[in-house]
Amino acid sequence: MAKKKEKTRPPLNRIDAIADRVAITDLQGRIIDVNQAMLIFHNRRRDEIIGRNFLDMVLEEDRDMIRQCFTDTIERGFSNTVEYRSLNSSGEVVYSEVNALTIRDASGHPFEAVAVIRDVSHRKAVESRLAESEEMYRNLIENIREAVYKIDENGLIRFISSGIERISGYKPNELVGAHFSDFIFRDDLSHIQEQFAKLMKSILESDEYRIICKNGEIRWISSSSRPVFANGKFIGIHGILTDIHERKIAQQALQSQQELLQQAQKMEAIGTLASGIAHDFNNLLMGIQGRASLLLMESDCSRPEYGHLKGIEQYIKSAAELTQQLLGLARGGKYEVVPTDLNALVQNSIDIFGRTKKEIKIFTMLDPELRVVEVDRTQIEQVLLNLLVNAWQAMPEGGDISVTTQNVDLREGDARIFQLQSGHFVRLGVSDSGIGMDESTKSRIFDPFFTTKEMGRGTGLGLASAYGIVKNHGGIITVYSEKDSGSIFHVYLPASEKNVETINETVAQVPGGSETILLIDDEDMILDVARQMLLSLGYRVLTANSGGPALGIFRKNHAHIDLVILDMIMPLMSGSKVFEGLKGIDPAVRVLLSSGYSINGQAMDILARGCRGFIQKPFTLMELALKIREVLNA
């Protein structure tokens, strides 16, 4: 029988030449031999290591992993590179990297394993520091509110940080690979493309522009970018995007508020002047109207003078409409505010206007669920008429006018721009297909006495008075227009929770009475003509030309006085003070307020304190008669 061949190992001096640590083990993991590098690393003699299990030299937390690696090596003949931790001679944790293979006999059976172990502590320390640095910068980039980006030379987004999601709603992976221009608001695109071309030439400029967000919203951002070059060739840009939308909107709101404030101050100054003129002018018209009314009562409609008197009344009405426009410029110039169905008011005004303007077509889209508004119906009719006339005049060759009503809710930010309280509003829109306006004209459209029409064709009060009336109602009027593209006016009025008040039908016959009326007015002309009008209606009349005598008369005769007609604007003692004195004598006193003008809402204040009604000068005999019966019969 042949003698069994002895198993041999490589000479020991060969593995001592290897700089890495080398260990040779049997198939049970006991160390058979090690090289000099292993002895130095562990600061041990050879006899202190030989015979020990190699797992003793592995940190306990990593032993299961290395045991599995050893098993795999025996089965497959080699191992994958594995990292583990051990303790060096100083007791410090050292990271090592091991590769192992099996040694087979002539029959191909494994009988030993060889492990080559490399110290990778330095590399691990560098990797750790690099990872910490990367993590720090990653956290910095990912947690700042701005978005850091990288765009290549073709304009493709190659990197963008998570800050973009806070700004645009897009996740970074939804943008990477796309062209930056896909997300720029179209009105700003050509400008940004010019900026990109400048960056390619190393021209650095910060910029503000608008982007399209994932939800379709348009938001303002600011970008700060720098070009990147490699070997002198442009390879892209790096930059930061900052969300400036709220700041930009606030700036626009501030600018709008400043413009509105300037407009309000201008209207305030002109309104003060206009109101004084309107007050005196209305008193003169009242004298003329009163005399004409008295003459008409005594005239037969078949007589020649009757036609002249009716003509005088028509001229007085036209003059009164002019003063109404002047009063529209004055603050507080609304009197009889009642809950109103704006749709009905709009439809009635359109029917009247449309009958006289056959060259235009008027289309309506009125919200059937429109909220109620509290308005002076006459003044809002005047606003709508002015807007319709403006639209008609913008279409000299004819065209289309569209009138719409809609419920809208103004949020706090939007309301702040208009200097309004947020909440429920009703919006009235009037648009035309006319010649439109340039920026210069549009900026002055609400200025009093500004007109684009030739001399003698317009007063320039229509839109200015509309602005004043809407402002006095707690609303706002806006305009959008482009040259040759028509105009759109929007009127915003606060909505009301009240129910609509019906309008009483007028009667054909002048109603009179026999009650006693105290007439108070500081103008002798008004006192005289109004007294005669009241007498012609059958009433008993007491008169006073100032507050002191009026209170004396009322104190003495209040048990027999059925109604007081009180002028609001008087010297020495205002109508408000007189009203207070009358209420002090008789809390149930019936008072009909009369005025050609209201200062700072005094008329509204007196009406709110229990005054029974208001009549605007100049008034006809029929208007006076109906208003008196309305108050007395209430």
Q: DSSP letter string over 222-239?
A: EEEEEEEEETTEEEEEEE
Its CATH architecture, for the domain 144-243, is 2-Layer Sandwich (3.30)
Tens digits of residue pLDDT in 226-240 = 888 988 888 988 888
Tens digits of residue pLDDT in 184-197 = 888 888 888 888 88
Q: Where are the domains of the chain?
A: 12-125, 144-243, 333-496, 516-633
When comparing pLDDT for 440 and 97, which is higher? 97
What is the topology classification, in CATH, of domain 333-496? Heat Shock Protein 90 (3.30.565)
Q: Helix %, strand %, coil % for the chain, to 5?
A: 45, 25, 30
The pLDDT of residue 632 is: 92
One of 3.40.50.2300, 3.40.50.1970, 3.40.50.720, 3.40.50.620 is the CATH number of 516-633, namely 3.40.50.2300
**What 8-state DSSP symbol labels residue 434?**
S
Exposed/middle/buried for 64, CB within 10 Å: 0-12, 13-18, 19+? exposed
Residue 496: count of CB within 10 angstroms of its CB? 18
Tens digits of residue pLDDT in 107-148 = 888 889 899 998 888 888 887 787 777 677 666 666 677 888
Tens digits of residue pLDDT in 515-540 = 999 999 988 888 998 999 899 999 99
Q: What would the mean pLDDT of 166-178 be, rounded to a whole number? A: 90
Tens digits of residue pLDDT in 154-171 = 989 998 888 888 888 999
The pLDDT of residue 317 is: 74
Average pLDDT in the chain: 82
Q: What would the mean pLDDT of 464-472 be, rounded to a whole number? A: 81
Domains 12-125 and 144-243 share a fold: yes
Give the rounded percent of residues in the chain with a pLDDT score beyond 70.
85
Q: Is the pLDDT of residue 366 over 90?
A: yes
* Integer Cα distance of 97 and 85 in angstroms: 9
Tokens encoding 300: 């037969």
Tens digits of residue pLDDT in 305-340 = 777 777 787 777 767 766 666 665 554 455 568 899
Tens digits of residue pLDDT in 288-311 = 887 888 887 777 777 777 777 777
The pLDDT of residue 517 is: 95
* Confidence tier at 601 by pLDDT (50, 70, 90): low
* Confidence tier at 1 by pLDDT (50, 70, 90): very low
The pLDDT of residue 421 is: 83
The pLDDT of residue 306 is: 75
Q: Is the pLDDT of residue 214 over 80?
A: yes
Backbone angles phi, psi at 234, to 5 degrees: -70, 125
Tens digits of residue pLDDT in 66-100 = 888 888 888 888 888 888 888 877 778 888 899 88
pTM for the full model?
0.45
Instruction: Tell me the helices (H) and strands (E) count for the chain, helix number first.
Output: 20, 22
Do 381 and 473 form a contact (C-beta atoms < 8 A)? Answer: no
Place of tokens 């307020």: 593
The pLDDT of residue 597 is: 64
Of the listed ranges 168-172, 204-208, 439-443, 496-500, the one predicted with least confidence = 439-443
Its CATH architecture, for the domain 12-125, is 2-Layer Sandwich (3.30)
Do 315 and 557 form a contact (C-beta atoms < 8 A)? Answer: no
Do 211 and 183 form a contact (C-beta atoms < 8 A)? Answer: yes
CB proximity list for 552: less than 8 A, separation 6 or greater:
none
